[in-house]
Amino acid sequence: MSRTAMETAKEFYEHVNGDPSGLPGVLHADIDWSVVKGFPFGGRYNGLGSVFEDFFGNVMQHFEFWRAVPEEYIDAGDKIIVLGHYETKAKETGMDVNSAFVHVWTVSDGMITRLQQCADSVQVSRALNHNVPEKA
């Protein structure tokens, strides 16, 4: 029996915040992973290799850890919308970050085929010492 879209999304967060070796079991090999422009390492990643090597590789190079903490799940059929926040600490500056996110997951046959991410990029950029200006 295949997982529901909601079960698949919840399993993603269990793996990404615990044992990431289980992520290939929920992410489709040809996943379309889209991180909002302006967010560090923002852009489009296609396929598991690109997601793990290019996206997560960059993230883990610059941060001591990275947690995506879901706070609310919204079931929209084959799409699951998750409101939450990232918790992390930048290696270079030692800054702690708590940054809000919205993830929209598209799920097909119990596998995530697409991520659309939008998040508070200012806090993450500051932690990376990118000197993002604050509103006066």
DSSP string, the chain: -PPPHHHHHHHHHHHHTT-GGGGGGTEEEEEEEEE-TTSTT-EEEESHHIIIIIIIHHHHHHEEEEEEEEEEEEEETTEEEEEEEEEEEETTT--EEEEEEEEEEEEETTEEEEEEEEE-HHHHHHHTT--PPPP-
Q: Where are the domains of the chain?
A: 5-127
Q: What is the pLDDT of residue 24?
A: 92
Write out the chain's pLDDT in tens, 136 residues. Answer: 478 999 999 999 999 998 888 899 999 999 999 999 888 888 999 999 999 999 998 888 999 999 999 999 999 999 999 999 999 999 989 999 999 999 999 999 999 999 999 999 888 888 888 754 443 3
Which CATH number does the domain 5-127 belong to among 3.10.450.50, 3.10.180.10, 3.40.50.1100, 1.20.1440.120?
3.10.450.50
Whole-structure pTM value: 0.90
Q: What is the pLDDT of residue 53?
A: 92
